[in-house]
Amino acid sequence: MISMIFKQHALLSVTAMAVGLTAWCQSTWAQETPAAQLVARGAYLAKAADCAGCHTALPKKGQPQPRPFAGGLPMGSPFGTIWSSNITPDKEHGIGGYSYEDFARVLRQGVAPGDKHLYPAMPYPSFSKINDEDLRALYAYFMHGVEPVNRAAPETKLPFPFSQRWALSLWNLAFAPNDTFTPDPKRDAQWNRGAYLVQSLGHCGACHTPRGPAYNEIGYTQESSAYLTGGTNDHWYAPNLRGLAGPGLGRISAQDIASFLKTGHGAGLITFGSMVQVVEDSTQYLSDQDLSSIASYLKALPAQGSGGTYDAQSRLAQQSVAALHTGDQQRPGAGLYQGMCARCHHSDGRGEPLKYPRLAGNPAVLAEKPDSLVRLLLQGGHAPTTIHDLPSKEMPAFGPKLTDTEIARVLTFVRSAWGNNAMPVTTRDVRTMRDAVAPHR
Ligand code: HEC
Ligand code: HEC
Ligand code: HEC
């Protein structure tokens, strides 16, 4: 009886349906039709693939909120700025004229109608692994669940020879894997689901896998020993996600990894840098089951790659505690840490749960490359804001307060205190980063 009333109610609200398909999809009646279920599934998959994160412009002060999927996000690449496209179903400026075949080709092969080859800033090498069923749901969502926006996104103008889009067909031949995901029958369903999400929709390797000289990711599956061993994009270093005990996920439990992806907090770590957007736009919306699958796939990856080590019982660990107490002249970073950082991260480097991350044994602190640490110290940051409603505390920017040498010293201290043991950070590392991320660039 109650469901009858609901259905009546939904049928009466025909006018509301015209206003917004998204709202329509949420109504009880719509949820029950197969077409609407497909659109709703597509919406979930679009979150898993973070289509909105790259295809929505950044908000500007005093201007209306940018429309989702209307494009216009500038993306830094070694070749120049690439602007993301309008992928709303607008017929003139968006993808409203796409057939399903056009959509499948652009997502899997990076070739838009008119034989326009896309730059691999669009992660089509990963999206080639999306299965047909999911691609159909995504298509249904983009055609029927997204509002059209009749505005052109800015045009990408790279310098010659990168302006020659046709040349990307050669790049694709050499580097893009262009094969759909095939489950491994020797592994269980959870591992296979995790592998699928990480390699295809999640495109985690776009940031976490190192790139070769042609900007190609070195490996797109666990079969490559470089896969997910850490990579630098837009001056953020995305750390090793394999089983290493120091800079990898070896000491982080599957449960903590799932919680990190859902809320930005796990094992006393807090997401920072470009991973904040990934959590805010994408992983926070994944089901607990999908998050557990991702975590168990990552935990099953064998240790590969390099970086620092962690041993809380080591002699080095005792020395750093002493240096904090005595203000050891040999370790000028200890004094800076005590004065500038200890009020949040504490003298023992353990931080405060859900507020300030622990730095002792933190794999991102032990990362092979210190880029993300240097950039975070220069610019500051804040923990992600999610629907799960945990506090989002600020990390202050030290760029204006500390010299390059001071930042290098305090980070070198952090990377060698409490049992952490990773390569020092140099003044030159800091100067290079300051130049690269200076506001005028
Ligand atoms: C990491 C960033 C990123 C993500 C994630 C991303 N895109 Fe893109 N996409 C781009 C960029 C950048 C371009 C423009 C590339 C160019 O101009 O060569 C693009 C281009 C496209 C185009 C071509 C439009 C045209 O006709 O020119 C389509 C379609 C598209 N993306 C759809 C999607 C969909 C659907 C998703 C999610 C499943 C997605 N993208 C996720 C960055 C991204
Ligand atoms: C846009 C680039 C980008 C993408 C895409 C991305 N990451 Fe990250 N990720 C980072 C950066 C940068 C960090 C380092 C900052 C931090 O620890 O939060 C990071 C950190 C992490 C960490 C914590 C590692 C540590 O040592 O503390 C995990 C776990 C992680 N990412 C998982 C994933 C998964 C799973 C995906 C795919 C669903 C993904 N990431 C996609 C950039 C990215
Ligand atoms: C006011 C409190 C506060 C102070 C002071 C502070 N931090 Fe942080 N720090 C944070 C917060 C909050 C985060 C998480 C930032 C994020 O999520 O973007 C963070 C993150 C970090 C991280 C990344 C670790 C991770 O897993 O998120 C490092 C490294 C770090 N801080 C080092 C320092 C150093 C070195 C100093 C002193 C020069 C310092 N912090 C001072 C609050 C603080």
Write out 102-116 in H/E/C secondary structure.
HHHHHHHHCEECCCE
Are residues 155 and 67 both part of a single domain? yes
Are residues 198 and 264 both part of a single domain? yes
* Domain boundary, last residue among 253, 274, 299: 299
Q: Which residue is closest in CA terms to ligand 2's atom 11?
A: 238
Are residues 207 and 102 both part of a single domain? no
Residue 137's pLDDT is 98
Are residues 24 and 39 both part of a single domain? no
Q: Closest-lying ligand to the alpha carbon of 134?
A: 1
Give 254-291 pLDDT, tens digit per residue. Answer: 999 999 999 999 999 999 999 999 999 999 999 999 99
> 234 lies in a domain?
yes
Are residues 40 and 152 both part of a single domain? yes
Is pLDDT of 338 > 70? yes
Are residues 53 and 145 both part of a single domain? yes
What integer best gives the mean pLDDT of the chain?
A: 91
- CB of 237 closer than 8 Å to CB of 359: no
Ligand 1: lining residues by beta carbon, under 6 Å: 46, 49-51, 53-55, 75, 82, 84-85, 87, 95, 106-107, 112, 118-119, 121-123, 138, 156
Give 360-408 pLDDT, tens digit per residue. Answer: 999 999 999 999 999 999 999 999 999 998 989 999 999 999 999 999 9
The annotated binding site is made up of 51, 54-55, 204, 207-208, 341, 344-345
Residue 322's pLDDT is 82
The single-letter code of the amino acid at 394 is E
Are residues 63 and 83 both part of a single domain? yes
* pLDDT band at residue 82 under the 50/70/90 scheme: very high
Residue 245's pLDDT is 95
> 424 lies in a domain?
yes
Are residues 159 and 240 both part of a single domain? no
Q: For 199-202, which contacts have Cβ atoms below 8 Å and span 24 or more sequence positions?
A: 199/126, 199/129, 200/126, 200/127, 200/128, 200/129, 200/130, 200/131, 200/134, 201/45, 201/48, 201/49, 201/126, 201/127, 201/130, 201/134, 202/48, 202/49, 202/126, 202/282, 202/283, 202/294
Percentage of residues of the chain with pLDDT beyond 90: 78
Answer positive or negative: Cα dihedral of 399, 401, 402, 403.
positive
Number of domains in the chain: 4
DSSP label at residue 50: T
Residue 329's pLDDT is 73
Are residues 71 and 81 both part of a single domain? yes
Residue 4's pLDDT is 37
> 184 lies in a domain?
no
d(CA 374, CA 378): 6
Are residues 98 and 171 both part of a single domain? yes
Gap from CA of 19 to ligand 2 centroid (Å): 37
Are residues 8 and 69 both part of a single domain? no
Ligand 3: lining residues by beta carbon, under 6 Å: 269-272, 276, 340-341, 343-345, 356-357, 359, 362, 364-365, 373, 376-377, 381-383, 393-396, 398, 410, 414
- For residue 370, give the 3-state DSSP assignment: coil
pTM: 0.93
Residue 270: which of 365, 152, 144 has the closest Cα?
A: 365
> 182 lies in a domain?
no
> 180 lies in a domain?
no
> 41 lies in a domain?
yes
Residue 331's pLDDT is 84
> 183 lies in a domain?
no
Residue 31's pLDDT is 62
Give the residue-averaged pLDDT of 332-358: 96
Are residues 201 and 325 both part of a single domain? no
> 20 lies in a domain?
yes
* Domain span holding position 2: 1-32
